[in-house]
Amino acid sequence: MKEIEFHGRTLDVIRDFPADAKHEAGHQLDKVQRGNDPTDWKPMSSIGKGVREIRIQEQGQYRVIYIAKLEDAIHVLHAFQKKTQKTRKQDIEAAKHALKQILARHKQ
């Protein structure tokens, strides 16, 4: 089973989700660790190839953006509460930045 690596403040952000959303995020990440797809997800090709977004609807809408295709770990790039229909540019940029750092580290 792959380890999960949280980048930036993602773990703190998930810990600050309401209890039901936090529990669901943990459950969905556990599914990913076991090689399964999350229950509700979509590809985030605007961030990078293989990047996915877990969609959680518990006491609001919450998102966990991750990439699982790298061999060393499942990398959680960004997590946030979604307040509008469209994902905010700063959330996409935060995930892109984390992915860029991970990929640079993998090239070394």
Q: Give tens-digit pLDDT for 34-77.
A: 999 999 999 999 999 999 999 999 889 999 999 999 888 999 99
Could you tell me the domains of the chain? 3-107 (3.30.2310.20)
Closest CA to 17 of 3, 31, 28, 33: 28
Condensed to tens digits (0 to 9), the pLDDT of residues 75-101 reads 999 999 998 888 899 999 999 999 999
Global pTM reads 0.94
Q: What is the rounded distance in angstroms from the CA atom of residue 67 to the CA atom of residue 41?
A: 12
